[in-house]
Amino acid sequence: MEWINAIVQGILVGGLYALFAAGLSLIFGVMRLVNIAHGDFIVLAAYIGWGVVQMLGLHPLAALIIVVPAMAAIGYSLQRLILNRTLGADLLPPLLVTFGLSVILQNGLLQVFTADSRKLNAGLLETASFTVPPGISIGTLPLLMFATAIAVIAALQYIFYRTGAGRAFRAVSDDREIAQLMGLDNGHVNAMAMALCLAVVGIAGVFLAIRANFDPSFGPSRLIYGFEAVIIGGLGSLWGTLAGGILLGVSQGLGAEINPGWQQLAGHIAFLIVLAVRPRGLFPRIEG
Amino acid sequence: MSDPILIIDKLEAFYGDFQALHGVALQLREGELLSLIGSNGAGKSTLLKSICGLVTTKPGRIRWRGEDISGQPANAIVKRGIALVPEGRRLFPSLSVEENLVLGGRVARPGPWNLEAIYDLFPILSEKRDAPSTSLSGGQQQMVSIGRALMSNPDLLLLDELSLGLAPVVIKDIYQMLPRIIGNGMSAILVEQDVSRALGVAQHFICLQEGRVSLEGNPKAYTREQISAAYFGTGAAADG
């Protein structure tokens, strides 16, 4: 029973990892940009959420109404003002610039918020749970996170494959030169993709802050989880990203069940096994 | 005779240190079809890319309907009514046939072309509208590429190497459609490797050689030898 419980909890936390990863996957798909600062933006969103809750006294989930648009605006400006200038045939400049951003964000947050760890208090939601018949207890908050992850990925999938904005994303991803001939401004399209990415990061950051303590140094490990979920799922596949998050969460849960010290290790090992056996991930995008 | 709608003068274009165009000049009138011929690397595609903004040029060199468009980004130029059918078709592989066309119609200037009109012109595309663009034959892909450019209702259509990699029978079909494609007073510049085909459809031609205009005029005014000399740069016709 304990094992089944570990698997169920692993699946649910996998939803959070999928939220970490969805934005990374989207950005890589549209502009071949690997954002090293992605994890630090999750932490930034957590701090913005914390600030909003402190100032306005809102429930953390209500703070999403402010955090998500704020993160989207940050994403749009970041892409337009900085990252668009680094894009080109060479993958290295954006990598270096986002690495620098990661350092700046961590130290900036440290200056402003100190190294004290914070947490968002969601009240009763944090402890609420219900028991499914054979003794498996499911927390309301993890379930909510998982449902949100599914909703976010379904929404991204819809935007990407069913809307004009999604057509623009795919066209720019396919052929930047010809996309301009369709009247598309690549800089703007990239910035819209980054806005969408950081909007998802806003949701992930607030959930992260409700779920556990966080401090300014928290970003890089979130980035690793996000990366691992993307790679396990297969680059460019959004539903694959969810599967990757779940596999990562379940591996960590089972690892912790064997020995509490093995939680993270088990996740990384699962990632390495997938990488060795299926280097393109479980659900690689079919290339035309 | 009406005034030219496109006036190019002293056009230069560079790829890094390499100069692809050396002071090219041309004029195009409303409804005119101009053929651009020349051997590989003569600068034909570069000239088309300069006009539609994919290759940046110095200001003042390209005037479109009285306005200087040189140096403007490609996404602004298409809104002014210049569309390119690129060499090698360049469809968006992750988009379906219809999505490719719809994206072409993102800049929808007023005019006769819309999805129905394209499907009417190329009925086969209507059957394949939901197919991935990569699943089509070369000729069908060329139809999508032409349709995608027409969807913006351009006043000037730039056609780059329509026949590249296509079977002769398919090329013949596409050229038979040409009067329907560029009817309605649309102007066009046609780049073509196949010189006799290019000269057969045009009222006016320009021969480029190493980035310079080596011969121009009415195709009927020159002998095959004169054109061939300008093309290969072997005879007296080359003035460089």
Give residue limits of the domains in chain B. 4-232
Question: How far from the centroid of its chain's Cα atoms is residue B81's Cα?
Answer: 13
Determine the 3-state secondary structure of A257 from DSSP.
helix
Rounded CA separation A22/A156 (Å): 8
pLDDT at B188 over 50: yes
Q: Which of A181, A185, A286, A287 to mutate to test the interface with B (most CBs of B within 10 A)?
A: A181
Spatial CB neighbours of A205, under 8 Å, sequence gap ≥ 6: A41, A42, A43, A44, A45, A46, A48, A49, A67, A71
Q: Cβ distance A40 to A243 under 8 Å?
A: no
User: In chain B, pLDDT over 90 holds for what percent of residues?
Assistant: 73
Question: Which residues in chain B are contacts of A186 at CB distance < 8 A?
Answer: 75
Assembly ipTM = 0.90
Question: Which residues in chain A are contacts of B52 at CB distance < 8 A?
Answer: 181
Quick one: pLDDT at residue B235? 56
Q: Cβ distance B47 to B36 under 8 Å?
A: yes
Q: Which of B74, B90, B149 sits opposite A175 (nearest CB)?
A: B90
Report the pLDDT averaged over residues B59-74: 93
| Structural domain count of chain A | 1
In a domain, residue A238? The reply is no
Lowest mean pLDDT among A58-72, A132-146, A212-226, B20-34: A132-146
- Over residues B3-18, the pLDDT tens digits come to 899 999 999 999 988 9
- Over residues B127-137, the pLDDT tens digits come to 999 999 999 99
Select the more confidently predicted residue: A22 or B239: A22
Burial of A35 (0-12, 13-18, 19+ CB in 10 A): buried
In a domain, residue A240? The reply is no
| pLDDT, chain A, mean | 93
| Beta-sheet pairing, B67-68 with B187-191 | unpaired
Rounded CA separation B168/B150 (Å): 23
Question: Which residues in chain B are contacts of A178 at CB distance < 8 A?
Answer: 86, 90, 92
DSSP string, B125-150: HHHTTTSBGGGS-HHHHHHHHHHHHH
Report the pLDDT averaged over residues B66-83: 95
Kindly indicate the confidence band of residue B1, based on its pLDDT and cuts at 50, 70 and 90: low
Angle between helices A186-211 and A2-31 (to 10 degrees): 160
Quick one: pLDDT at residue A236? 77
* Strand blocks (E) in chain B: 4-15, 18-29, 33-37, 62-64, 67-68, 82-85, 156-160, 187-191, 204-209, 212-217
User: In chain A, pLDDT over 70 holds for what percent of residues?
Assistant: 99
In a domain, residue A24? The reply is yes
Rounded CA separation A223/A32 (Å): 17
Select the more confidently predicted residue: A107 or A237: A107
Quick one: pLDDT at residue A287? 45
> For residue A230, which of A189, A269, A285 has the smallest C-alpha distance?
A285
Chain B: closest CA distance from residue A288 (Å): 6
Count of CB atoms situated within 10 Å of the CB of B60: 11
Rounded CA separation B75/B90 (Å): 17
Strand partners, B157: B83, B188
- Show contacts of A5-8: CB within 8 Å, 24+ apart: A5/A135, A5/A136, A5/A137, A6/A250, A6/A253, A6/A254, A6/A256, A6/A257, A7/A250, A7/A253, A7/A254, A8/A136, A8/A138
Q: Cβ distance A48 to A227 under 8 Å?
A: no
- Residue A76 domain boundaries: 2-115+140-219
In a domain, residue A182? The reply is yes
Chain B: closest CA distance from residue A224 (Å): 29
pLDDT at A288 over 80: no
B4-232 CATH, one of 3.40.50.150, 3.30.1050.10, 3.40.50.1220, 3.40.50.300:
3.40.50.300
- Kindly list the distances between the CA atom of residue B94 and the CA atoms of A200, A241, B152, in Å, as whole numbers in the listed order: 24, 19, 21
